[in-house]
A and B are shown apart, each in its own frame.
Chain A
Amino acid sequence: MIGNDIVDLQLAAKESRINRKGFLDKLFLPEEKKLIQDAVQPSLMVWLLWSCKEAVYKIVNRATKERVYAPHHYTCQLHQLSKISASGVVSYQSQSFYFQSRLIGAAIHTHATSTAELLPKVKPVTAYQLTPSYTVLLQQVGILSSQKILYKDKQGIPYILDQDNGRLVPVSLSHHGNYIGVAVLPNF
């Protein structure tokens, strides 16, 4: 299964005071706080780790349908980190999830999968739009067409519905500020 999360870094800097007392303590575990402290740009590391937790939360939420605000249950480990990308593993209840993050423009876009094999196969799409619209973006990149439309089930979980054969393909949607992030399973 797939999940994704996007953070508009300029908006995040405006919306959140990451230095306020208790902020990091409630969202991050000791080893993650160490990564933040040691980072060249601590705020960038905050949003990188946050996007990983959120992307994996979306996978878990898809499976369990349960809404829980428990960032401390998601442990991020970085296996690779450069100025423009990062990858690693997020553990949740002894299960491992795999993520790939990229710095695009002034945003961090992370997509995650439930198996390591699936990660390189996922197609992430990132866009900056003045009027953010998933439908417009997915039409532009050819994922949606006259017969393929965006569909959400009763719980609000999104899919691409092929109206010709009724086939549903999972898609993960994320939006923050002017940035939109999408992750689609291969062979949609």
Chain B
Amino acid sequence: MEPSIFIEQIREIVKPYAKNSDALATMNVSTDFINDLKINSANLVDVVLDVEEKYDIVIQNEEMERMLNVQAAMDIVTTKLKEK
């Protein structure tokens, strides 16, 4: 998947949870969900669930453990979509 396309899609997903709108607007692959976007840690699970729904994939706990930034989310989604 093109990073630019993924970034646009993930931006829509995290929008309801992100508390830092500047970081949301300038999101890139290294954007951290918690440190940069200021997403509450209890809402990170919503990001994981929304990503699962959007791409119709299942994210295992071991994969969720490192899903802390855009790059990690993109890697997980890309791998899962290839497995389909």
Per the bound structure, the CA–CA distance linking A17 and B44 in Å amounts to 12
CB-defined contacts of B40 to chain A, threshold 8 Å: 15, 176
Assess whether A16 is in contact with B66, with CB atoms less than 8 Å apart. Answer: no
Interface size class, chain A: 20 to 34
8 Å CB contact of B49 from A23, A67, A71: A23
Nearest residue (CB) in B for A70 is B65
B65 touches A20 (CB 8 A): no
Whether the Cβ atoms of A26 and B49 lie closer than 8 Å is yes
Q: Could you show 21 A-B contacts with beta carbons less than 8 Å apart? A: A7-B42, A15-B17, A15-B40, A15-B43, A16-B46, A20-B46, A20-B49, A22-B52, A23-B46, A26-B45, A50-B42, A67-B34, A69-B44, A69-B65, A69-B66, A69-B67, A69-B68, A70-B61, A70-B64, A71-B45, A176-B40
User: Which residues in A have some Cβ–Cβ distance to B below 8 Å?
Assistant: 7, 12, 15-17, 20-23, 26-27, 50, 54, 67-72, 176
